[in-house]
Amino acid sequence: MYNSSQPSMDMMARKQEKIRKEEAVLADCAKLYRRKLREELSMTEHDGIMKALGAVHRRARKSAFGNLRRELYGEPQAVYCKRLQVLVDAEYDEWKNLSTNTLVNEAALNDCVREYVQNLSKFTRQDASSPPLATFRNHITVLTDSCLSGLREKLCGDAQTRDIFVARFREMVAIRSQPFIDRVMSREVEQNRIHSEILSNACADEFTRKSEVST
């Protein structure tokens, strides 16, 4: 039996799926703006952030709107451009209204995380002399303490504010450390495998030699 409601249900489902995709594009473009803004500002000396903010905002905005216009067309493009503008303006206003202390702390955090990752990268760069995992974990502990000490010297504000940035540093370096730990662990497993293979071959050769002598 023909169901007269079926076409309208299908149409509603397609419309909902279309809206879902458009909302996802909007969310992605807003994230792109925030990421571009933060990435570029993180590479700016803290005393120059306010001067650079306007230019950085315009470049990040251009990327976000360019991406939206590539994904959406016609009336949806116009509607979502307006909504993206609201989100971009709100994010930009937040940055403009940040206190000097917050700007200093954000810059200090980014500097210390960057220093941490660079140091860790240097320590694991020598493929031929990869450090044992235990040694590497000790290095991580020492490096974390060293960078934390530097971060605490740079942080401004009350104890609660400084604690927030210290916690963010610990979280960020834990995430960034894991790929290095995985790499060192993989190398150690491979080195152990090769060592075991050499020992096994040596034992087999010794057994063969003794067998030949006994016969």
Are the beta carbons of 163 and 148 closer than 8 angstroms?
no
Residue 205: pLDDT band (50, 70, 90) is: low
Of 29-38, 96-105, 136-145, minimum mean pLDDT range: 96-105
pLDDT of residue 57: 93
**Percentage of residues of the chain with pLDDT beyond 70:** 78
pLDDT (tens digit, 9 = 90+) per residue, 52-68? 888 999 999 999 999 99
pLDDT of residue 169: 94
Residue 123: pLDDT band (50, 70, 90) is: confident
Give the span between the Cα atoms of 8 and 77, in whole angstroms: 25
Cβ count near 79 (within 10 Å):
13
Of 47-51, 80-84, 154-158, 200-204, minimum mean pLDDT range: 200-204
Summarize the confidence of residues 146-164 as an average pLDDT.
90
Summarize the confidence of residues 64-91 as an average pLDDT.
94
pLDDT (tens digit, 9 = 90+) per residue, 167-182? 999 999 999 888 888 8
Phi, psi of 21 (to 5 degrees): -65, -40
Indicate if the pLDDT at residue 147 is higher than 70: yes
The model carries a pTM of 0.49
Indicate if the pLDDT at residue 5 is higher than 60: no
Indicate if the pLDDT at residue 128 is higher than 50: no
Contacts 24+ apart (CB under 8 A), 48-56: 49/103, 49/107, 50/103, 53/95, 53/96
Indicate if the pLDDT at residue 120 is higher than 80: yes
